[in-house]
């Protein structure tokens, strides 16, 4: 097996901090140098008081897999970037926060290096990603019914499974958004953060339909060296155990709206998810 992995370049790549990024084969099969971004044109961008979105990102880099090896992850640049472009073009401003205000962790190996729009976005927001706001401070000082927010946005990447699903402040923001009638947007592994909305009274999204990156695909990716080992836990399994209904079975471009929750299935859904979110908020 090790010979075949080397032959097909399916061995995960070591990082300087002792973790692993995806293998050359996995990078070739699972990422692209360009995206399907459609330009994000909107005839009538939003003009009004609720013109901001709160984007909750992970600040944690390495995921410890079931075999003890660490996967170098973070937020996926396409899953974060394309919806940002759509939402900004639709007239919304985006406030970036991490749990404590540490820099946003980004999966640099997934950056679409030949996509001018995405590259420009990450140049323009480099300082915001390096110096985000603190979610803890937002909860303590800014979370009220007068806040000018239209939605809470949780981008994907396996990093969304780190530090967000069990964060009390994430849970408070999700409940606040629900009570205030804000939309909640979550893409790919982003719905993992919805687990924070479980309290002794139950799960906020019990009975909701959503699209999420499938556990079945996460179970296959170690074979091509995308992950350095089996996942420590499974997102869809935990969500369905709490009553969520996952409507997709493939890592495809499917998206879904259930009440004020908008979800997308994978990086392939990033453009469609961004447009769906923007058009829904504009309504």
> Over the stretch 17-44, which tens digit does the pLDDT of each residue have?
999 999 999 999 999 999 999 999 999 9
Query: Which one of 57, 188, 236, 255 is the catalytic residue?
Result: 188
pTM of the model: 0.96
To which residue do tokens 């030949």 refer?
114
Domains in the chain (CATH in brackets) are 2-42+50-282 (3.40.50.880)
pLDDT higher than 70, residue 219: yes
Q: How sure is the predictor about 146, in pLDDT bands with cuts at 50, 70 and 90?
A: confident
Clarify whether 188 is annotated catalytic: yes
pLDDT at 3: 47
pLDDT higher than 60, residue 1: no
């Amino acid at each position: 097996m090790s010979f075949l992995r080397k032959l097909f370049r399916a061995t995960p790549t070591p990082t300087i901090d002792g973790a692993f990024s995806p293998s050359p084969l996995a990078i070739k099969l699972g990422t692209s140098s360009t995206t399907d971004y459609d330009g994000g044109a909107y005839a009538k961008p939003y003009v009004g008081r609720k013109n901001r979105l709160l984007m909750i990102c992970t600040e944690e880099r390495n995921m410890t897999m079931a075999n003890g090896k660490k996967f170098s992850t973070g937020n996926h640049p396409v899953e974060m970037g394309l919806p940002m472009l759509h939402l900004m073009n639709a007239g919304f401003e985006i406030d970036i926060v991490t749990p404590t205000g540490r820099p946003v962790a980004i999966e640099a190996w997934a950056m679409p290096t030949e996509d001018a729009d995405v590259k420009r976005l990450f140049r323009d927001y480099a300082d915001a990603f390096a110096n985000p706001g603190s979610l803890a401070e937002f909860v303590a000082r800014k979370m009220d019914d007068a806040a000018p927010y239209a939605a809470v946005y949780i981008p994907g990447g396996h990093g969304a499974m780190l530090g967000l699903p069990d964060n009390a402040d994430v849970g408070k923001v999700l409940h606040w958004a629900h009570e205030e009638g804000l939309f909640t947007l979550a893409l790919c592994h982003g719905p993992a953060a919805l687990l924070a909305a479980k309290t002794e009274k139950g799960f906020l999204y019990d009975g909701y339909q959503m699209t999420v990156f499938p556990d079945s695909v996460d179970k296959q990716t170690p074979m091509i060296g995308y992950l350095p080992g089996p996942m420590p836990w499974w997102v869809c399994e935990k969500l369905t155990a709490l009553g969520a209904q996952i409507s997709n079975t493939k890592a495809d471009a499917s998206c879904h709206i259930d009440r004020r929750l908008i979800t997308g299935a994978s990086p392939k859904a990033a453009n469609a998810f961004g447009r769906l979110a923007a058009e829904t908020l504009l309504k």
